Amino acid sequence: MGATGFQPGRILLLAALTALALIGFASGDPGILSGANLYSMAVFAVEIGIIAFGQTLVICGGDGGIDLSVGAIAALSQVLMGMALQAGIPWPASVLIAAAGGTVMGAVNGVLVTCFRIEPIITTLATMFVFDGLALVLTGGINIDLTTMPQTFLDLGQGSVFSLPFQLLCIYLPVFVILIALQHRTLFGRSLYLVGTNTLSARLTGIRVDRLRAWTYVIAGLLSGLAGAIGAARLGTASPTASEQANLISIAIVVLGGSSIFGGDGSVVGTAVATVLIGVVNYGLSYNDFNPIYQAGVMGIILIVAVLIENLASGRNWSAVPFLSLAKGKSSG
């Protein structure tokens, strides 16, 4: 485990599940397999997919690494971008502001986790409050309308290239390729696996553990900011409450994709395949008029069942011992 992070078996399983989900939805209504629907599926999946990439790196870093603030970063970044656009700043600079803003917010997380040694889950829980709150304060809780902005900007989330969504072809895939290279072909990526697997031996090997971990938060922030910018362009509005569910869904995707929540295992490739599955399930449910809350619920079920199955497959057997011992009234670990 953790030697390469690359898990062909997991990827095949996810692909099979995705096919199964598609067949299931199609048997309910074959219309879902139309080109237009598959196109929208891709559009919706791109943003959360980008956020999940960052989450993959943070979780891979181990030692409780997790980023609950990704949704808040996306929201605050897109609000910053919206305000910049309204102030008349040209759109490329505004998108840069979103990306830079996300990077800075990620850096705040990284510094708090590594320099101040606050647990990642607490740090990012608190910064989630802070970033979400700042987004609301800056906008007064009102969405910023961006529909009057130049079409070139809106194309960031609405355009298409070779009849594929612009953001899929020109943002998601390049980011994906870069991250594959980063995780599997660079010193940074390989060291990160060691850091996640065994912090102490990584430190003794001479790896700057803290610096490495801090960078994962920075990257997660940058990617969340980018996702926020795409989302705002897609909807033509910058909303302080956008991506509220992003932390849950991104963690679900990462865990589904084969990353160990304890770090040191998993790959962005698995994350990408899991994104497709989640994208299909999400779209299929809303296509069949399910309430978004049910989508989240189904997501929760998938998440838990996936880990349960993985536990069985990897020999971490389920245990009925505590419950049996309760019934017998005897003590046993």
Partner 1 sequence: MSLKAGARPDKLAKPPASAHGWVRAAARFAKGREGVLLITLCLLVIVISIGSHGAFWAPVNLNNLMVSAAVTAIPAIGMTLVILTGGIDVSIGSMLGLVAAIGGKFFEAGWSIPAVAPLFCLIGAAFGLVNAAIIIGGRVPPVVATLGTLSIFRMCVFLVLGASWITMIPPELTVIFISDRLWFLPVASVMALVLMAVFAFFLRSFRLGRHIYAIGNNEEAARLAGVPVARIKLYAYTLLGMFTGIAALLTLGQSPLVQTSTGTGFELAVIAAVVLGGTELSGGRGTILGTLLGTLIVGLVNDGVVLMHIQPFWGGVLLGGIILLSIGVNQRWPGRGGEATE
Sites of contact with partner 1 (CB under 8 A): 64, 66, 112, 115-119, 121-123, 125-130, 132-134, 136-137, 140-141, 248, 251-252, 255, 261-262, 291, 293-294, 296-301, 303-304, 307-308, 311, 316-323, 325-326, 331-333
**59/95 with CB nearer partner 1:** 59
Q: CA–CA separation, 127 vs 104, rounded Å?
A: 12
In total, the chain counts a number of residues equal to 333
CA–CA separation, 327 vs 321, rounded Å?
Answer: 10
Task: Centre a 10 Å sphere on the Cβ of residue 72 and count the other Cβ atoms it contains.
Answer: 30
**83 or 130: CB nearest partner 1:** 130
Residue closer to partner 1 (CB basis): 100 or 121: 121
For the bound state, the minimum distance from the C-beta of residue 208 to partner 1, rounded and expressed in Å, comes to 15
Q: Smallest distance from the beta carbon of 239 to partner 1, in angstroms?
A: 14
The distance of closest approach from Cβ of residue 326 to partner 1 in the complex, given in angstroms and rounded to an integer, is: 7
Tokens 């990704």 -> residue: 70
Query: Rounded to the nearest whole angstrom, what is the least distance from the CB of residue 88 to partner 1 in the complex?
Result: 26
Cα distance between residue 130 and residue 105, in whole Å: 10
Rounded Cα–Cα distance for residues 157 and 258 (Å) = 29
Token match 């553990």: residue? Answer: 209
**Straight-line distance from the first to the last Cα atom of the chain, in angstroms, rounded to the nearest whole number:** 27
Q: How far is the CB of 219 from partner 1 (least distance, A)?
A: 21
Instruction: Give bridge partners of residue 237 from the DSSP assignment.
Output: 145
Nearer to partner 1, 235 or 248 (CB): 248
Residue 69, judged by CB atoms within 10 A of its CB (0-12, 13-18, 19+), counts as buried
For 256-268, letters b (16+ CB in 10 Å) and e give: bbbbbeebbbbbb
Q: Least distance in Å: CB of 329 to partner 1?
A: 11
Q: Which is nearer to partner 1, 186 or 325 (CB)?
A: 325
Q: Least distance from C-beta 89 to partner 1, angstroms?
A: 24
Query: Nearest-CA neighbor of 219 among 182, 177, 171?
Result: 182
Nearer to partner 1, 32 or 72 (CB): 72
Tell me how far, at minimum, the Cβ of 328 lies from partner 1, in Å.
11
Closest CA to 183 of 192, 173, 174: 192
Give whichever of 90 and 141 is closer to partner 1, judged by the CB atom: 141
17 SS3 class: helix
CA 251 to CA 333: how far, in whole Å? 30
Based on CB atoms, which residue is closest to partner 1, 167 or 239?
Answer: 239
